[in-house]
Chain A
Amino acid sequence: MKFRIRRFDEKRGSYWQSFEVPVTTAMTVLDGLFYIRENLDSSLAFRASCRMGICGSCAVKINGRPRLACETQVSKFREVKIEPLDNFAVIKDLVTEFEGFFAKHKKVKPYLINPKADYENPVEQIQTPEELKVYYDFSLCIKCGACHSVCPAAATLEGYLSPAALVSAYRFNADSRDHGKEERLKIVSAADGVWRCHSAMECSEVCPKQIEPAKAIQLLRVATLR
C-alpha cells in the first residue's frame, strides 16, 4: 500500500514523500506510520499515544478527511494520503502546534465552578442519571482537533473559539453541579464566540466520537437568549 505523506520542515518547506508499506490484517494507518518510522525513514514526525482512540493525539487528514490514525483501517483505501490537520500551524511533518487550541479551551473555564464549595466540610454533589444524560455526550471530547480543522470559521478567523472549546463550555453549563453558567455565556457570546458559527456542520461530520459539536454550539446560542 502506498503511503503518500505531506511532510514539512523549516529548511525544505512543504513536500510530498511516498513510502511502500506492507499490509497486514487489520492494519491501521497508525501502524503504517510506525512501520515507516521504524523501517524506512526514522525522521518522520507524528503524534501518537494510546493507539486506541481515547487520547486524541493521532488526528491527521487521511485522504482529505480528518480521522484518528489509530482507528482508521488501511483496507478502506487504495492509497493512503496523509497530511497534517488544516487550520493548525505545522511544526514538523504531521505534528502541528496545539497551544492555541488548548488556550481556547482554558478561556471558557472548563471546570466546575462552585462558589459555595467548602473543602474543609465537603458535601457530596448528587446528580441523577437524567441530569447526567443532558451533558454526557459532550463530555466525551478527546481534544483531537479534527473539528477545528474543518470549521470554516476557524479557517478564516484566528481568534474563533473553535467547536471543541464551545463543546466544553456547553458541557459545563449543562452540568447540574456547575454554577458558572453566566460567566461562560458571557465569554462565548463575545463576537469571536458562538456568533461566528453558521451551521456548516462540518465539525459534526468529522468528530471521531460522534459528539455533534454543532449541536452544542447551537444550544449555547439558545441559552444566550434567556
Chain B
Amino acid sequence: MRFLGWFKYRSPFGIAFMFQRITGLILVFYLCLHLAFLTSLQERELYEHFTSITVSKQFFIFDSLLILCGVFHGLNGIRIIIHEFGYAHEHRKAILVIFAVLILFAWLYGSYIMYMALGD
C-alpha cells in the first residue's frame, strides 16, 4: 500500500513528519471520542459513569500519552510553520533540537498538572 511510504524515513526531519501525521490522526480520533463524551453531559449518570473510568489513576497513562500527542503535534506544528514561511532552513537542525526539548518539558509539565489534579 503506497501510503506506507509516509512511514519509512531516516532523517530526524522525516521522523518528525511521520509523527506529526500519526499524532494528527490520533487527535482526530480523540476528537470524535471527546464529542461522544460531551454528548453524555446531557445525562448526569452517563457522564459520571464515563468520568469515573477516565478520570482516574489507572487511566492516567492514556491521558499522559494523549498529552504527548497533543504537545508534539502543536509544538512540532509551530516548528513547521516557521519553515513553511521560508525561515531558518539553514538552522533546521538546531530548531528541531530546541523544539524537541520544549516538547519534552511541556509533556512532563502537562502530565504533572494532570496527575496533581487527580488528587485522592
- Please report A residues at the B interface, Cβ cutoff 8 Å: 64-65, 87, 150, 152, 155-157, 198-202, 204-205, 212, 214-215, 218-219, 221-222
- Give the segment of B3-11, B29-37, B67-75 that binds chain A: B3-11
Task: Let me know if B83 and A64 touch, CB within 8 A.
Answer: no
Task: Let me know if A219 and B86 touch, CB within 8 A.
Answer: yes
Task: Let me know if B2 and A202 touch, CB within 8 A.
Answer: no
Bound-complex Cα distance A152 to B21 (A)? 11
Contacts of B2 in A (CB 8 A): 155-157
Cβ-defined partner of A152 (8 Å) among B14, B89, B92:
B14
Task: Let me know if B14 and A200 touch, CB within 8 A.
Answer: yes
Contacts of B92 in A (CB 8 A): 201, 204
Cβ-defined partner of A214 (8 Å) among B3, B10, B16, B83:
B83
Task: Identify the 6 closest CB pairs spanning chains A and B, nearest first.
Answer: A155-B5, A200-B17, A201-B13, A215-B89, A205-B11, A156-B5
Supposing A150-B9, A152-B9, A205-B13 touch, asked if A199 and B86 sit within 8 A by C-beta, the answer is no
| B85 at the binding interface (Cβ < 8 Å) | yes
Cβ-defined partner of A202 (8 Å) among B3, B9, B90:
B9
| Interface SS of chain B | helix
Can you name 30 A-B pairs with beta carbons within 8 Å? A64-B10, A65-B10, A87-B5, A152-B5, A152-B14, A155-B6, A156-B2, A156-B6, A157-B2, A198-B17, A198-B21, A198-B80, A199-B13, A199-B80, A200-B9, A200-B13, A200-B14, A201-B13, A201-B17, A201-B89, A201-B92, A202-B13, A202-B14, A205-B14, A215-B83, A215-B89, A218-B83, A218-B86, A219-B86, A222-B85
- Please report B residues at the A interface, Cβ cutoff 8 Å: 2-3, 5-6, 8-11, 13-14, 16-17, 20-21, 80, 83-86, 89-90, 92
Bound-complex Cα distance A64 to B9 (A)? 10
Contacts of B10 in A (CB 8 A): 64-65
| Interface SS of chain A | helix
Supposing A155-B5, A156-B6, A218-B85 touch, asked if A198 and B20 sit within 8 A by C-beta, the answer is yes
Cβ-defined partner of B11 (8 Å) among A157, A202, A221:
A202
Bound-complex Cα distance A200 to B6 (A)? 10
How far is the CB of B79 from the nearest CB of chain A, in Å?
Answer: 9
Bound-complex Cα distance A190 to B84 (A)? 18
Supposing A150-B14, A152-B14, A155-B2 touch, asked if A201 and B83 sit within 8 A by C-beta, the answer is yes
Bound-complex Cα distance A150 to B9 (A)? 8
Task: Let me know if A152 and B6 touch, CB within 8 A.
Answer: yes
How far is the CB of A205 from the nearest CB of chain B, in Å?
Answer: 4
Contacts of B14 in A (CB 8 A): 150, 152, 200-202, 205
How far is the CB of B25 from the nearest CB of chain A, in Å?
Answer: 13
Task: Let me know if B13 and A152 touch, CB within 8 A.
Answer: no
